Copies of this chain bind each other. A is one copy, B any other.
Amino acid sequence: MTESLAVRGLAYAYPDGTQALFGVDLTVARGERVALLGPNGAGKTTLVLHLNGILTPGLGGVSVGGLPVTKANLKEIRRRVGLVFQDPDDQLFMPTVREDVAFGPANLGLRGEELERRVTWALDRVGMLGEIDRAPHHLSFGQRRRVAVATVLAMEPEILVLDEPSSNLDPAARRELAEILRSLDVTVLMVTHDLPYALELCERSLILSGGVIVADGPTRELLADSALLAAHRLELPYGFAVPAS
């Protein structure tokens, strides 16, 4: 079993009747870093909220590390899927960095020394151990995003799912986060419209458009196919060239 994530024929309509997903199929192997690309409104967020069972599929299903996402498995699924939200202020809701990082593992029942060990380990991985006792709102935006990554790392997830990890970061903070993500020994699914960032971090990319996966292949090849990109409202920014490998 080497699949971290498997999505099969996933379809979903919101309670108001708007259908957002029309049969999504995708797999991510253990240890892979995959980018999920797509224009705004393609259904990226809807898909992400299925991965840890916040939304329940209309048709099809999701499994994480071989375990199907069902009501009965919810606790284990939410441990296995580490979701990093776009706005770190949504994710850092506790009064201190330490408590925020401890929140997830504490919900899994960890206490005392074991909990402390997890917290320091996760903060160390993102280079934020020095800020452990600070209040999240006193950190810079880039630091808050790194703490948000630590909050899910502390749950030792099977797969890390990041929603627009590069948004609002200045160039240096953007590179620092990329270095952190590369240094982690974990499966990553990165939802983004920042194509250069996808290329920098992920060998493989998927394009989600109109509620289905329309392309799946090496990032370098997808980004070279300007007709494909244009057909799905994606484009490389001005002045950007795919660097020679």
For A171, the chain B residues whose CB sits under 8 A away are 193, 195, 234-237
Give residues in A with beta carbon < 8 Å to B.
39-41, 140-142, 164, 167-168, 170-175, 178, 193, 195-197, 199-200, 233-243
Our pick among B173, B233, B238 for the contact of A200 (Cβ within 8 Å) is: B238
Contact status of A174 and B142, CB under 8 A, knowing A167-B167, A167-B168, A168-B168: no
B175 and A40 contact, CB distance less than 8 A: no
Our pick among B170, B195, B233 for the contact of A40 (Cβ within 8 Å) is: B170
Q: Quote the shortest CB–CB distance from A175 to chain B (angstroms).
A: 7
Can you name the residue of chain B whose Cβ is closest to the Cβ of A174? Answer: B237
| A196 CA to B143 CA, complexed, in Å | 23
For A234, the chain B residues whose CB sits under 8 A away are 170-172
Which of A164, A175, A237: most chain B Cβ within 10 A?
A: A237
Contact status of A173 and B40, CB under 8 A, knowing A168-B167, A168-B168: yes
Can you name the residue of chain B whose Cβ is closest to the Cβ of A173? Answer: B40
| A196 CA to B197 CA, complexed, in Å | 14
For A170, the chain B residues whose CB sits under 8 A away are 39-40, 193, 233-234
